[in-house]
């Protein structure tokens, strides 16, 4: 079936819906949202439609369908459970040259209701011509995640400035080039911040700029999450798909990187003890060089940029060098690893607070308030602490934490190869050595860690002491 796509203005126009059940209710809500004057023909209405009738939002015509119901309506939707009634409605509408939609019967339809993506005033419609409506809905769901939520705000901005743009750029080709520069530029960043005035300034700057002027670069700090690509935020996904250059940490998963724009330049800037090492100053220099060259740079960090990710240092550098920037938070490892291990970080019966602690080197451990960390009824989460497990165990016990306090060491949290080693604090480093625990791994200490075994749901069951080790 070949369809001619169109968008109907139903504002204050009469539409008839025949049927009083849930399917009819869904159609009616969409029609009301479009401004239609809806009459519902049905012997009875479901509770939702009764409320709409009582509120004066719809008119109820009680009884079974009669052709005169079609008088003075612009279109009709048949949403009854009776195929014979639906056919009568379609035939009567055809005789009057009215467009009719019969729910779940493509052959009787003279128009189809598409799957819709709304970014008002922008509306996208997807139709399979009635052949595969579930495919249209699936495609809609896929596109919803990829289309920026600020598209509506952008459409409103362009509508308000359309006259000025046409006056300043009367030549069609020049106007098209302006729109391309604007849409490839920084206007999105202002809209995502909810800053309409900033977006208007960006529009005027682009309108005033010579077409040959170098594009303005920018940097977006993006949290990649712990590894599972499903945990990347929509903002993060959209930033990756708009990136010219991606500076990514070593621990950012290949699955997350695969979601990025195909032709983006990827540069690994990871830090690994005893291996290749990119200094923070070198990362700063790379961000600055690519941004000044007009690129949209994504600084992609594992977890969240502002939780032990040096995101603050990088923003300070960018601000000092007048480089525009934005931040997209990510799901930090503490939240993701705990959730994927079945461990609630807080629990009414066990922990009323949680502390995030970095333990990547001995110098950082020397600055910690161990007495406060050893207090009971709190959860401790240690980042980057695999090499310091013996010191962590000794310091916590020495400052009052019970050696029987449960722990869970979550290795490769949220990834297919996730492992959880669990036990008690007194045997922490011994169990980690026994199971050859390696980074990246997150250590959780506290009574809630005992829930790792009963609440486990992802990956292999938690590993503990083997019978031989326990006997020894």
Active site residues: 249, 271
Spatial neighbors of 99 by CB under 8 A, at least 6 apart, are 74, 75, 76, 93, 110, 111
Tokens found for residue 105: 């019967």
Distance in angstroms (rounded) separating the CA atoms of residues 450 and 334: 16
Q: Nearest to residue 439, comparing CAs of 366, 367, 385, 379?
A: 385
Tokens found for residue 119: 């970014």
SS3 label, residue 193: coil
Please give the distance of CA 318 from its chain centroid, rounded to a whole number: 26
Q: Which residues pair with 248 in a beta bridge?
A: 268, 300
Distance in angstroms (rounded) separating the CA atoms of residues 311 and 315: 6
For residue 255, CA distances in Å to 172, 259, 336 come to 42, 7, 16
Q: How many CA atoms lie within 13 A of 413 on its CB side?
A: 31
On the 0-12 / 13-18 / 19+ scale of CB atoms within 10 A, 252 is: buried
DSSP classification of residue 343: -
For residue 198, CA distances in Å to 161, 183, 211 come to 14, 15, 21
Q: Nearest to residue 327, comparing CAs of 295, 292, 299?
A: 299
Radius of gyration of the chain (CA): 30
Helix residue ranges, H only, 321-446: 333-340, 362-366, 370-373, 389-398, 428-434
Task: Measure the N-to-C terminal CA separation of the chain; round to a whole number of Å.
Answer: 75
Counting other chains too, the contacts that 78-87 makes at CB distance below 8 Å and 24 or more residues apart are: 78/18, 78/19, 78/102, 78/103, 78/108, 79/17, 79/18, 79/19, 79/21, 79/23, 79/24, 79/27, 79/103, 80/18, 80/19, 80/24, 80/42, 81/19, 81/21, 85/18
């Amino acid at each position: 079936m070949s369809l001619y796509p169109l968008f109907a203005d139903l504002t204050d126009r009469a539409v008839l819906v025949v049927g009083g059940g849930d399917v009819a209710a869904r159609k009616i809500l969409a029609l009301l949202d479009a401004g239609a004057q809806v009459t519902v023909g049905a012997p009875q209405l479901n509770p939702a439609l009764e409320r709409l009738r009582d509120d004066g939002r719809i008119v109820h015509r009680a009884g079974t369908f009669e052709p005169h119901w079609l008088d003075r309506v612009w279109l009709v939707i048949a949403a009854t459970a009776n195929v014979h009634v639906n056919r009568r409605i379609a035939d009567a509408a055809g005789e009057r040259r009215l467009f009719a939609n019969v729910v779940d019967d493509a052959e009787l339809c003279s128009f189809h209701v598409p799957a819709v993506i709304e970014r008002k005033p922008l509306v996208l419609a997807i139709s399979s011509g009635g052949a595969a409506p579930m495919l249209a809905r699936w495609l809609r769901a896929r596109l919803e995640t990829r289309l920026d939520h600020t598209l509506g705000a952008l459409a409103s901005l362009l509508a308000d400035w359309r006259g000025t743009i046409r006056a300043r750029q009367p030549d069609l080709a020049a106007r098209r080039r302006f729109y391309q520069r604007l849409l490839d530029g920084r206007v999105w960043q202002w809209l995502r911040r909810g800053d309409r005035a900033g977006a208007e300034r960006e529009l005027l700057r682009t309108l005033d700029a010579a077409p040959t002027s170098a594009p303005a670069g920018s940097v977006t700090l993006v949290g990649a999450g712990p590894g599972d690509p499903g945990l990347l935020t929509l903002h993060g996904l959209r930033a990756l798909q708009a990136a010219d250059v991606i500076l990514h940490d070593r621990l950012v998963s290949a699955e997350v990187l695969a979601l990025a724009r195909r032709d983006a330049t990827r540069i690994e800037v990871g830090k690994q003890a005893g291996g290749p090492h990119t200094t923070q100053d070198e990362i700063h220099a790379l961000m600055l060089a690519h941004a000044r060259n007009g690129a949209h740079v994504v600084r992609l960090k594992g977890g969240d940029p502002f939780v032990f990710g040096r995101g603050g240092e990088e923003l300070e550098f960018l601000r000092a060098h007048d480089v525009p920037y934005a931040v997209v938070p990510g799901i930090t490892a503490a939240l993701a690893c705990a959730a994927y291990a079945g461990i609630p970080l807080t629990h009414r019966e066990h922990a009323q607070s949680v502390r995030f602690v970095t333990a990547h080197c001995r110098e950082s451990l020397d600055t910690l308030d161990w007495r406060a960390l050893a207090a009971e009824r709190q959860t401790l989460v240690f980042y980057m602490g695999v090499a310091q497990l013996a010191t962590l165990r000794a310091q916590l016990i020495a400052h009052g934490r019970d050696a029987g306090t449960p722990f869970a060491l979550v290795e490769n949290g949220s990834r297919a190869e996730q492992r959880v080693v669990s036990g008690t604090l007194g045997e922490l480093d011994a169990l980690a050595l026994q199971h050859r625990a390696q980074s990246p791994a997150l250590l959780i200490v506290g009574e809630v860690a005992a829930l790792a075994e009963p609440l486990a749901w992802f990956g292999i069951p938690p590993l503990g002491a083997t019978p031989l080790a326990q006997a020894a």
